[in-house]
C-alpha cells in the first residue's frame, strides 16, 4: 500500500455542521484527506456519509465550517474559482447518474466539451480511452444508459468522473449492488487507477471487502462527527462499541479471512 507522503491535505474539513430543519447530521466534523490516498468513509445508515460527500463536492452547503479542497476554500470561492476547481475533481454517483439522453461516449465527452481547443475527433478518442480504462468493452460507447447493467453504468459513471484526469474522485458506494466478482473487479480498477494516475479517492462505502482490499485509511462517521480515522489495523483496535461491532461483526471477520486467504495464495 502506498503511504501518503504529502503532508498538506488535499481536502481539509474543519467544524462542518450540516442540518436539515431541526435534524443535525454533522456537528463539528473535522477530516483531512491526503494526496494519493484512498480514504474509505463508513458509518451507519443516516450518519450522513453521502451528505458529507455532497458537502465537499459543493452540492450541499453546510450551515457552518470550513471546506478547503486543493487549497481553495469551497464556501468562499468565486464562480470562476469553483469552475476551475470542479474540473480538478470528479464525482461518481451511486447509480452512475448518466445522462439518459446521451450514449456512454457522449456522456464521457460532456465534461471535455468545456476544454478549449480540443479537436472533436480527439475528444471522441479520449472518451473511448476513458471508457476502455474503466473496464468497459469498446462497443459500450455507443450504448445508452438504459441498455447497460448496473455494474456497467457504474463503470461508465467512473469513466465520466475521470474524463478530465481529476486529482480527486468522489465515489458514492461504488460496489453497492454489484455481485461479489464485479465488486472485486471494481475495487481492483479503483486501486489501479489511483496508482497510475495519482488519484486521491474519497470513497463512501458499506462494503467491508472494499475497505480491506483498497483503502489506505478509513474514517468512521458516528455521533455527528468523524469518530476515528486510521488504517484497517488501527480500526480493529478501536474499542468504541459501534466501531468494534462494525469491524468485528461476522461479515467483517469473513472479509478479513478472505483477505488473509488472498494474501496467502
Partner 1 sequence: MQVLDRLETPVSVTTDQADGAVSLHLAGRFSLGDLTALHGALMQAATAGPFLVDLSGVTRLDTAAAWAIAEADAKATAAGHSMQITGASADSAALIQTVRDALPNPDTPPAKPMTLALWLDGYGRSVMGAVSFLMQLLGFLGLFLSRLARALRHPSEFRLTALVHHCHEVGLKAVPIVALMAFLIGIVLAFQGSTQLKQFGAEVFVVDLIAVSILRELGILLTAIIVAGRTASAFTAAIGSMKMREEIDAMRTLGIDPAAALIVPRVLALLLMLPILGMIANAAGLFGGALMSWVELGISPAMFQSRLIEGTDVSHLMVGMIKAPFFAIIIGVVGCHAGMQVGNNAESLGQKTSAAVVTAIFSVIVIDALFSIFFAQVGI
Residue 198 engages partner 1 in binding (rule: CB under 8 A)? yes
The residue length of the chain stands at 265
- The CA–CA distances, whole Å, from 169 to 18, 35, 100, 162, 164 equal 22, 11, 22, 8, 11
Which range in 25-33, 47-55, 133-141, 227-235 contacts partner 1 by CB under 8 A?
A: 133-141
Residue 122 engages partner 1 in binding (rule: CB under 8 A)? yes
Shortest reach from residue 170's CB to partner 1, in Å? 17
Residue 239 engages partner 1 in binding (rule: CB under 8 A)? no
Residue 104 engages partner 1 in binding (rule: CB under 8 A)? no
Which range in 49-57, 59-67, 122-130, 177-185 contacts partner 1 by CB under 8 A?
A: 122-130
Q: Which residues of 185-220 are buried (b: 16+ CB within 10 A; e: fewer)?
A: bbbebbbebbeeeebbbbbbbbbbbbbbbbbbbbbb
Please select the residue that binds partner 1; options are 138, 181, 250, 263, rule is CB under 8 A: 138
Residue 194 has which C-alpha cell?
489511483
Residue 94 engages partner 1 in binding (rule: CB under 8 A)? no
Tell me the three state secondary structure of residue 28.
Answer: strand
Cβ 202 vs Cβ 216: under 8 Å: no
Instruction: Provide the binding-site residues for partner 1, judged by CB under 8 A.
Output: 6, 8, 10, 70-71, 84, 88, 100-101, 112, 115-119, 122, 125-126, 128-133, 138-139, 145-146, 162, 164-165, 167, 192, 195-198
Amino acid at each position: 500500500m502506498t503511504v501518503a507522503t504529502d503532508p498538506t491535505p488535499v481536502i481539509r474539513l474543519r467544524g462542518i455542521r450540516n442540518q436539515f430543519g431541526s435534524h443535525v447530521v454533522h456537528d463539528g466534523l473535522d477530516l483531512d484527506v491526503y494526496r494519493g490516498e484512498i480514504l474509505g468513509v463508513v458509518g451507519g445508515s443516516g450518519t450522513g456519509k453521502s451528505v458529507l460527500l455532497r458537502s465537499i463536492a459543493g452540492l450541499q452547503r453546510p450551515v457552518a465550517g470550513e471546506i478547503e479542497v486543493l487549497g481553495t476554500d469551497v464556501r468562499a470561492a468565486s464562480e470562476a474559482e469553483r469552475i476551475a476547481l470542479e474540473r480538478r475533481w470528479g464525482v461518481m454517483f451511486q447509480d452512475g447518474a448518466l445522462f439518459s439522453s446521451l450514449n456512454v461516449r457522449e456522456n464521457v465527452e460532456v465534461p471535455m466539451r468545456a476544454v478549449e481547443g480540443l479537436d472533436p475527433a480527439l475528444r471522441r478518442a479520449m472518451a473511448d480511452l476513458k471508457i476502455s480504462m474503466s473496464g468497459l468493452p469498446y462497443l459500450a460507447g455507443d450504448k445508452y444508459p438504459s441498455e447497460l447493467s448496473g455494474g456497467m453504468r457504474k463503470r461508465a459513471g467512473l469513466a465520466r468522473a475521470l474524463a478530465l484526469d481529476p486529482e480527486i474522485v468522489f465515489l458514492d458506494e461504488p460496489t453497492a449492488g454489484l455481485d461479489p466478482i464485479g465488486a472485486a473487479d471494481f475495487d481492483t480498477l479503483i486501486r489501479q487507477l489511483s496508482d497510475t494516475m495519482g488519484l486521491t479517492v474519497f470513497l463512501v462505502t458499506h462494503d467491508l471487502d472494499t475497505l480491506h482490499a483498497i483503502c489506505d485509511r478509513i474514517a468512521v462517521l458516528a455521533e455527528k462527527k468523524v469518530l476515528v480515522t486510521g488504517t484497517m489495523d488501527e480500526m480493529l483496535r478501536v474499542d468504541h462499541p459501534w466501531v468494534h461491532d462494525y469491524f468485528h461483526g461476522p461479515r467483517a471477520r469473513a472479509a478479513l479471512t478472505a483477505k488473509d486467504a488472498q494474501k496467502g495464495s
